[in-house]
Structure 1
Amino acid sequence: MAVGCVRGALAVLLQLSVWLPVALQCSVSEIQTGQVIRLLNIMVQSENSSAASGSTPNPSILLALRLASHHDSDTERGMLARLQVDAVKRVQEGLPFSSGTVALYCLAMQASCADPSLTPAPGLKGGKKAMDLRKLLEKKLKEEIDNIDSKNVPLTNYYQVSLDILALCMMGKPVTSHSVQSLIEASDNGGFSYGEKYSVDTASVAVLALTCVKRSIKAPDRMVLRLKILNALKCLIKNILQETTSDGLIGNLYSTGLAMQALSVTSTNYDCSRTIQTLLERAGSGSFENPMAASQITPSLENRNYLELNKLDCKDFEKTLDGSVLPLAPPTAPEGVITVHYRVEDGIHYSFNDSIEVTVLWGPHYCRSWRRRNKISPAKFRFTVEQSSWGPFVTSIQVLAGNTEERTYWQFLTGSNALDQGVGDYKPLRQGEYIVAKFSTY
C-alpha cells in the first residue's frame, strides 16, 4: 500500500535539485482520434437523452466535452443552462448538494465561460438575480475542514475536499493554509486509503488541487506552505506511480485518466504510450460505454487536464462532432451459460454470511444477475439502489444500509479484488467466478 512522506522544509530544498520532472507530451495519434470522437459521441448522446427525460446533468461530462478538441456546441450550451438551473433548485429546495458536487458544478461552469459566483437565479429573495456558488463552496469546504478538526475525518471524503480546493483555486479564490495543510496531512497519514487499497483517484485530484495552489502562491509569507506542497506532490506522485500495473494502468482502469492528469501537470515521465495503448484497447472492447467512465478518460487521451479550464477559448465552437462516426463493434461474448458464486456478508457486525450459486447467460450486467438471486432467495439477497453519476449504486442489502456518518458502505469484489466497475456495468464472464458483496468501512 502506498504511504505518505513527511520531511522538513530544509530537506525539500535540498531535494528540489534532484527531483526535476521531465516535460512530456502524451496523447493519442492522429489516426487514433476516431476512438476519442466515439467516446465524445457516447457522452453527447447520453446528455441529450438526459435532457429529453428531464434528468440531472452531469458536470463531469460537461468538463470533458469542454476540454475536447471537437465540440457539440448546442449540447454544451444546453448542459450549462441545465446545470445552472439545477444548482439553484438544489439550494432553494434544500436538496442534497455535497461539497464535491458543488465543486464540480463550479468547474463545469467555469469551463463553459460562466462565472459560478453569478449563477442566474431569477426569483431569489431580496430581489437578487444571481446566486454565488463560490461562497457556497467556501462554506462547504469550511464544514469539511471543521469536521476534520473535530473528528479527524471530513464530512464526505478527501476526494471531495480535493475537488473543493481545486475549484476554489481555479476561480482565483485564495484557499486557507489550514485547508491545504489538512489535505497534506491526510495524504501522509493514510487518509487516501480505503482499508488496504490506495485511492489513486483521490491522490490524483489532490495533485491537481495542490499544483493549482502552488502555482498561485506569490506572497513571501506563504513560501513555507509552498515548500510543504512541493514535498507532498513528490510523495503523491511516487505513490501514484507505485500503483502502475504491468499493462500501464494506474490503480485501475477507471482511475487511470485522473492519474494521467496528475502526472501531466507535474511533468512526470512515465510510459504513457503503453498506458494509452491499453486504454484504447479497453475502449475498443467496450469498457468505456458508461458516459461517466468516458468523461474520466477523454481529457487525458488528448493530453488535457482540469488546470487548463481557464485557457479555453470561449469563442471556439466551430468544430463539431462528426455524427457519422460509427461506434466500434461491441465486444462479443461467448454463447451459453456460466455458473457464478455470489456471497453477501456483514464484514462489520458479522450478523450474516450467505452464499448462493446461480446459472446465468454469459455477460449479464451485475444488477440483472443480482435481481435473479433476489427472486430465488429474497430474504438473503434483497437490495436497494440509488442512481449516481456512475449508474446504479447499491445502498442496502438485507436492510443493512451504508451510512456516511458511520463511514460504512457495500464493497463489491471479484475473488479478493475490488470491482473496477460499478454494479451497473460489471459483467461476470468467468466460469465459476466468485463475487462478494461485503459490508465495510472506509
Structure 2
Amino acid sequence: MSTLTLLILLLPIHTAILCQLCGTPVPARGPVAFFLRALLRSMEGTRPDPHALIALRLARQHDLSREGQILRLLKQDVVEDGTEFSPGTAAWHILALLASCEDPHSVVVEDQRVNLAALLMEKLRTDIVHVDNGRPLTDYHQVSLAILALCKASICLPAEMIEKIFCSAVQLSIREEFTYPVDTMSIAALALRCMSFGNCNHRTPVIKSALQSVVTHILGNVRSDGTIGDLSTTGVAVQALTANQDLLPPGSWECRKSVEKLLQGISNGTFSNPLAASLAIPALENRTLLDIDTLNCSTDTDDLPSLFRKSPIAAYPRAATTTPTHPTPTPTHPTPTPTHPTHTSQTRTHRVHMARIITASTASSTGYISVNYTVMDAVNNNFTQWLILNVPLGSSALDILKEAERISPERFRLDYLQTPWGVVITGINGLYPNMFTTQWYFITGQNHQINDLEEFTPSDGDTILAIFTHRLIPNK
C-alpha cells in the first residue's frame, strides 16, 4: 500500500457531511484539507510534479513553503530540460507556472532564461504538420493540452488551425472506429472553451459545434453512480462539464453525485498516486484548469494545517524541533475537573484558524508523549485548528482535550457532562451538537473511532481528530 493510500485512510469521509460543492464557492473543507496534506506527504523525496503543483495552487488552503519549493524545482527543470519536453509535459509546466503567477514566456533561473510558451508553440506546429498525414506526431491528448496551455498563456491560435486539428481528430476516430477516452475529451472541452469563450474569442460554427460534440460525448460516459468514465477520469470530467454548464441539457448531469463519488474514492484509497489526486482536487474545490490564470497569489495565506507538512526530523512535527517564542510551562497532568455546557451563541469566523502551541521545548522528556490534537468544523466549514501537546504517558483522550482547553481556552474550549454511562462531549469551541442532526466524532490517526474518551490512551506521536459532523443516520 502506497504512502498516499495510507495517509488518506485518515479521512473520515461520510456522504452525510457533504455540502453542495458544485456551484458553491467553498466546499466541505475537512476532506479536501486532509487530501491536500496527504498529497504533500506523498511527494516527499520524489521528483517535482507539475500536476501536483497545479492541484495545490487551485486549492483554497496552502502550504506556501512547500509550494514554493516545488515551483523552484519545476523552473529548474524547464531551464535544464525544457527543449526536450514533450508537448504534454511542456503544457503541464506552463499551467503550473501560471497557477503560481509566474510568466511562462520568461522562466528565469540564475542567469538562464527560457521562453517555455514559445517552445510549446514550436512543438505544437510540428504536431500540426503531421496532422496532414492523418494523425499528430504525439496524440490528440497532448495536442489538446498544448492548446489549453497556450490559450491560458494568452496565445490565441488562429481559428483555422483549431478547426483543422479537431476536424482531423474526428476523422481519425471515424476512420479507425474508436472513441477517445474521457480524459482526452475533457481536456479538449477545456481547451475549446478557453479558445472560444475564455482568453480567446473564436466562436466559429465549426469550433462551437466541436465543443458541443465533445461535451455530449463526455455526458454519454456519465454512469448512474456519478462516475464519468472511471474514477480516475471523473475529476477532470467534472471540471470539463462544470466549465461548460451552459451547454448541458437540463437534468443531464448531477454534479453532486460525481463529487460524492470522488470523495468516496479518496476514503477508499483509490487515488493512490499524485497524478490521480491532482485531477480530483480542483473538482473538489469547485475550480477547473481554466481558473489557473485568475488566481491572486499575493493574497494566499499559509493556512493549510501542518499535520502532515514535511519535517526534516520526523514524520510529524515535534516540539523538540521548535523553540517557542515565549517561555511555556512544563506540562502537568491535566486536572479532571468537570465543566458544564454554556449556552453562548456560536461564533462564525468564516476562515480557517491554525493554532500551533508547543507546551514544552523537550518532547523527549522522560515519561511524556507528544500528541497532535486537531479540531475540525465539517458542518459549517469555519475552522480547522490544531496543536501539539506533551502530556504524561498514560493520559487518556479526554485528558488531551482538557489540556488543550487549559493551554488555549479561546480555541479549544471544552464542554462536557459526566453521566452514569461515561463522559458526553456537549461542545468544543462553541459548537454544540443537535441530538438529531449533528455530532462530535472522534478518531485516531489510524482512522480508528474513539468510542470512550476516558479509556483510550494515545501513543507517542499519535493524532486525535475531533470532527463536528452531520450524523450518518439521524436519531428518531
- On whether the aligned pair clears a TM of 0.5, the verdict is yes
Q: CA deviation at 1:316?
A: 2.3
Q: 1:27–1:302: 8 Å Cα contact kept in structure 2? A: no
User: How many correspondences in the alignment?
Assistant: 289
Q: CA deviation at 1:322?
A: 1.4
What corresponds to 2:256 in structure 1?
Answer: 273
Where in structure 2 are there 5+ consecutive unaligned residues?
1-19, 308-373, 375-443, 449-476
Q: CA deviation at 1:28?
A: 8.1
Larger radius of gyration: 2
Q: Once the two structures are superposed, what CA deviation does each residue of 1:224-280 show, in whole Å capped at 9, x if it has no partner?
A: xx2222111111111101111121101111111111111111113511111122221
What corresponds to 1:137 in structure 2?
Answer: 120
Could you say what secondary structure the match of 1:130 adopts?
Answer: strand
Q: 1:244–1:251: 8 Å Cα contact kept in structure 2? A: yes
Q: CA deviation at 1:191?
A: 4.0
Asked if 1:283 is matched to 2:261, the reply is no
Q: Structure 2 counterpart of 1:210, which letter?
A: L
Q: Once the two structures are superposed, what CA deviation does each residue of 1:108-151 show, in whole Å capped at 9, x if it has no partner?
A: 0011011011101445xxxxx421111101101001101111x2
Q: 2:97–2:103: 8 Å Cα contact kept in structure 1? A: yes
Matches within 5 A, 1:160-239: 160-191=142-173, 196=178, 198-215=180-197, 226-239=204-217
C-alpha change, 1:206 and 1:156, in structure 2 (3 Å) is same
What corresponds to 1:307 in structure 2?
Answer: 290
Aligned mates of 2:276, 2:174 — CA distance in 1: 21
Asked if 1:87 is matched to 2:78, the reply is yes
What corresponds to 2:134 in structure 1?
Answer: 152
Asked if 1:243 is matched to 2:221, the reply is yes
Asked if 1:61 is matched to 2:52, the reply is yes
C-alpha change, 1:252 and 1:28, in structure 2 (3 Å) is farther
What corresponds to 2:340 in structure 1?
Answer: none
C-alpha change, 1:33 and 1:217, in structure 2 (3 Å) is closer
Q: 2:135–2:169: 8 Å Cα contact kept in structure 1? A: no
Identity %: 34
What corresponds to 1:426 in structure 2?
Answer: none
Q: Which moved more, 1:318-327 or 1:202-211?
A: 318-327
| RMSD value, Cα | 2.7
Asked if 1:100 is matched to 2:100, the reply is no
Q: 1:65–1:71: 8 Å Cα contact kept in structure 2? A: yes
Q: 1:88–1:121: 8 Å Cα contact kept in structure 2? A: yes
Aligned mates of 1:58, 1:90 — CA distance in 2: 14
Q: Structure 2 counterpart of 1:158, which letter?
A: Y
What corresponds to 1:255 in structure 2?
Answer: 233
C-alpha change, 1:275 and 1:319, in structure 2 (3 Å) is same
TM-score when normalising by structure 2: 0.56
Q: 2:79–2:113: 8 Å Cα contact kept in structure 1? A: no
Could you say what secondary structure the match of 1:189 adopts?
Answer: helix
What corresponds to 1:317 in structure 2?
Answer: 300
Q: 2:102 aligns with which of 82, 103, 114?
A: 114
Q: Structure 1 counterpart of 2:60, which letter?
A: S
TM-score when normalising by structure 1: 0.60
Q: 1:258–1:297: 8 Å Cα contact kept in structure 2? A: yes
Matches within 5 A, 1:272-421: 272-324=255-307, 329=447
C-alpha change, 1:189 and 1:281, in structure 2 (3 Å) is same
Q: 1:35 aligns with which of 31, 34, 39?
A: 31
Could you say what secondary structure the match of 1:244 adopts?
Answer: coil
Q: CA deviation at 1:328?
A: 7.2
Q: Once the two structures are superposed, what CA deviation does each residue of 1:361-381 show, in whole Å capped at 9, x if it has no partner?
A: xxxxxxxxxxxxxxxxxxxxx
Q: 1:158–1:192: 8 Å Cα contact kept in structure 2? A: no
Where in structure 1 are there 5+ consecutive unaligned residues?
1-23, 124-128, 331-442
Q: CA deviation at 1:186?
A: 3.8
Aligned mates of 2:24, 2:54 — CA distance in 1: 19
Q: CA deviation at 1:29?
A: 9.8
Q: 2:131–2:165: 8 Å Cα contact kept in structure 1? A: no
C-alpha change, 1:328 and 1:288, in structure 2 (3 Å) is farther
